[in-house]
Amino acid sequence: MGHWNMEIELKLLLDPAAASKLRRLPLIGRHALGKPSRDTLLAIYFDTPDFHLFRHGAGLRVREAGGVWTQTMKAGGGVLGGLHRRHEWEGEVAGALPELERLAELVEADSPWAAMLAEPGLGARLQPLFTVRVQRSAWQLNVDGDEFELVLDEGTLERGELSLPICEVELELIEGRPRRLYDFALRLAERLPLRVDNGNKAERGYALCLQAPCGAVAARAVALAPRASVEEGLQAILGNCVAHIQDNEAGVLDGHNGECLHQMRVGVRRLRSALKMFGGVAPCPAPLLADIAWLAAALGAARDWDVMATSTLALLPASAAGAVDLPLLRQMVAEMAAARRQDVTRALLSERYTRLLLSFCAWMLDPERAAALAPPEAKNPQRRLVRFAAETLAGSHRKLQKRGKHLGAADPRALHRLRIAVKKARYAAQFFQALYRPRRVQAYADALGALQDELGWRNDVAVADALLLQLPGERPEQVAAIAFARGFLLARLHDDSGALRKAWRKVRALTPPSAPPK
């Protein structure tokens, strides 16, 4: 016997020192339908030597609990702010090895996972990759009519001599509304040191196998149905931005890849742009906007110093090293960049960041949010997204044209306003790309991207000038190095305006995507 279902659960990481406190929480006791169950679980994860299942977005385990072995395959779905939605197929097996024929009986015949399981010789190539051993405590909860299972897993993930500690909290939806998981998680976060977890045990196990550093993740394309409503578009676009932020969180915390910091900052910028874009439909609450601005400031400061340390100072001529102490300047900038990265690490590990993610996703999934906060003249969130998209793209392009009218005589502040307008127009085009012919949108976005790059390096130089003034200048050699760098970089701003004008002419000649949707 076996079954399949769509699993919906919110995953959180808990400080192991707080596990005993969770068990004694009156909040859990008030909503528990009985005493918690306690089990010792052993799970063995299988795949081929070339990670065939992993490459197809699937995970396969065989788990023992109370002498009964169960095989489970999870695949597909998605993650938003720690909320995991995955297809799950599960059934008993005779022992510690998977039985693919029995598993294939549960999988829909026309699904991509059925084809994956049908690959010749797959069963013979499967091998155990890693093992998870946990002590599980589980409570059945009823919270104002919504039914959850709260699970606490404590143990280890093991591969050979390598191991990772596990202390996870899962809130699985049995019956009710997904946003209620966030509401209850917020109440837990008031009492416990929790972090939102976009990963899972299988992903951490594969990371242990691959031993690869976290890589930067660019924004993924937004999936939009041709006849989607504005409300559906809002959830898809905001969810895409949150995923972009969280996809780079581990890499930022790892601290070895500046591109992760860049992508996380871009994710926050995209989110703020999207919130402004949908502001007439569903205004975001002021406390959430303040928290997002706080996160943007921390990421922005760290990224600005990182850019100067890794890119902007490289513009300085090596021949100047005999006249000024450039190594000293680079050292001072590197130290400031490292300090700002530490600020970001503290922010991402803070309770405020956890509450931001949980609160934002709860708001986003609330079907009553628009009626509660939108002004009376707000646009109907149930109207067609394609009309909203056309109006948004046209409006952002008009503002862009206005900002670029006097490019030749523009001062730094005017260039900054133009750069922001370019960025917003490009984000909007990418948000709605699925509604229009790909080539048309891509040509528009590419032209905007080229102009954004030209404006971007100029902004980096202008920002660097302000940052250089923050460096210590007590010693003569420090003063000389800072003064030289400022003078050289500011002169560079006025040397190369031809490329900027050329990029602007290409954008000015285009119109925003307006062809009929696909």
Give residue 344's domain range: 230-508
**pLDDT(377) > 50:** no
Residues 165 and 245 in one domain: no
- Is residue 402 one of the residues assigned to a domain? yes
pLDDT for position 409: 62
Pairwise CA distance, residues 206 & 131, whole Å: 11
Q: What is the CATH number of the domain that holds 199?
A: 2.40.320.10
Considering 160, 179, 210, which residue would you say is the last residue of a domain?
A: 210
- Is residue 222 one of the residues assigned to a domain? no
Quote the distance between the C-alpha of residue 197 and its chain's center.
Answer: 11
- Is residue 216 one of the residues assigned to a domain? no
- Is residue 57 one of the residues assigned to a domain? yes
As a three-state string, the secondary structure of 112-174 is: HHHHHHCCCCHHHHCEEEEEEEEEEEEEEEEECCEEEEEEEEEEEEEECCEEEEEEEEEEEEE
- Residues in contact with 300: Cβ distance below 8 Å, sequence separation at least 6, in sequence order: 265
The residue assigned the tokens 């149905």 is: 225
pLDDT for position 375: 53
- Is residue 128 one of the residues assigned to a domain? yes
Residues 155 and 264 in one domain: no
Residues 205 and 251 in one domain: no
Residues 255 and 390 in one domain: yes
Contact in structure between 408 and 501 (CB atoms under 8 Å): yes
Q: Which two tokens stand for residue 146?
A: 């919504």
Residues 192 and 341 in one domain: no
- Is residue 237 one of the residues assigned to a domain? yes
Environment class of 256 (CB within 10 Å of its CB; exposed 0-12, middle 13-18, buried 19+): exposed
Overall average pLDDT of the 5-22 stretch: 91
Q: Which two tokens stand for residue 290?
A: 């303040």
Pairwise CA distance, residues 222 & 238, whole Å: 10
Q: What is the DSSP letter of 32?
A: B
Residues 124 and 260 in one domain: no
Q: Which two tokens stand for residue 58?
A: 């699937």
Residues 321 and 262 in one domain: yes
Structurally, the chain folds into a number of domains equal to 2
pLDDT tens by residue, 169-222? 999 999 998 889 999 999 999 999 999 998 889 999 999 998 888 889 999 999
pLDDT tens by residue, 261-312? 999 999 999 999 999 999 988 899 999 999 999 999 999 999 999 999 999 9
- Residues in contact with 463: Cβ distance below 8 Å, sequence separation at least 6, in sequence order: 304, 307, 308
pLDDT tens by residue, 410-464? 677 888 889 999 999 999 999 999 999 888 899 999 999 999 998 998 889 889 9
Q: What DSSP element (H or E) covers 415?
A: helix 412-431
Cβ atoms within 10 Å, residue 105 = 12
Strands 83-93 and 68-80: antiparallel
Q: What is the CATH number of the domain that holds 356?
A: 1.40.20.10
pLDDT for position 360: 96
Residues 205 and 236 in one domain: no
Q: How far is CA 273 from CA 138, 240, 276, 357, in A?
A: 41, 13, 5, 17
Residues 205 and 239 in one domain: no
Pairwise CA distance, residues 487 & 316, whole Å: 10
**pLDDT(151) > 90:** yes
- Residues in contact with 414: Cβ distance below 8 Å, sequence separation at least 6, in sequence order: 403, 406
